[in-house]
Structure 1
């Protein structure tokens, strides 16, 4: 068995798909994995894949031209998922590889996505569902704060890489605002300049001290919101367990009213 070790990113996985197909080692003899395995197999050969933008572009063009944007969107969402693989669950890179091979064999991407009896396709379905849920939760819970320079800034800690979805959504909803969304989990940031498109970039150069300086209006409105939040509560109706079900604790650090309790 030949195991192609890919970077846990869209570019890394698609490069692995390209190299696996180009290797001519036989699809049955190939498996893809994101990251190093916990236990190495005795009779397997491990091949490390370096991400390539050129190879990624070729895979994307093949998928979109032959199977359409809906099929590509499903593969993309699966690649963005942070749900870990386990002994029972297929690695997302391998699920993507096998699903693409199945689509190439059948020639119909939509038919493949409906074939949930196939383990690789069902795994893609699970990963897409996880990514969509995470994106929806962050659309509901994301909070912008106004900085000293007037830029709206938000921090998130998502399990899945949902930053592109959030950036696209808020670019459409807030086209005339300058805003930034910082993904602390994946160390990336979306930057939107008013009346233009957003860009995604690495957060290595982000000055965390600078983006924690709020404007005077932000401080005032934040205090007003906390006062409202505390006074509207009915003492006899307090239910911390239900609160944690509706707003899981992992979101609390990024919301002003709950960050006080973290």
Structure 2
């Protein structure tokens, strides 16, 4: 039973991200490099957060303190990775102009939304892995939570929140990068505040665990509402529209009828 729970929650957390990686990233070496680099930057933000938490001894037991500064460090390193990518874009374009060989410039270099998507995805995957790996280890057995009065929904809630954060980081990456490109800094503030909001909502889960109450929906529902809003905004930011969706569905319907 515990093994079934392990695989179920693992696929909830990483099933959709795995499909996204296979179909949108795995076949392009440049995207894989950006994915790994963005994950490394997230790890650097985690390192600084850990150093700060370790240095401030009186507040080590205050989870909210570490959480808030962790969000700020993550967004700071997202900005630093944005600056790094833009420097790399300029360098690749210069090399292409000097050599006169169009093949030197990667196909993604002219579509900045793709790099923003990949970097956000890398951020999300590392964030999700670190947030659930210990839970998955406990989930594999020999026992399961809920027997001694703990909430039986803890594992399921953790899995859905992990998926939510992976997707949110992906959408935030697209919005954040475009906001800096277009100098719409209020959108940057929106990304930081929404990140802070969703992260602080997870503090309700600690309260649930202490009081043995089922209050997980109080964090799950608002988090997924923010995710849907961020998904819609990222879709618009990347040039999407309802008309494009209709055209895509019409073309696909036509192909099925021809087949």
| Greater fraction of residues in strand | 1
TM-score, scaled to structure 1:
0.31
Question: Structure with the greater relative contact order (CA < 8 A, sep ≥ 6): 1 or 2?
Answer: 2
Q: TM-score, normalised by structure 2?
A: 0.31
Select the structure of larger CA radius of gyration. Answer: 1
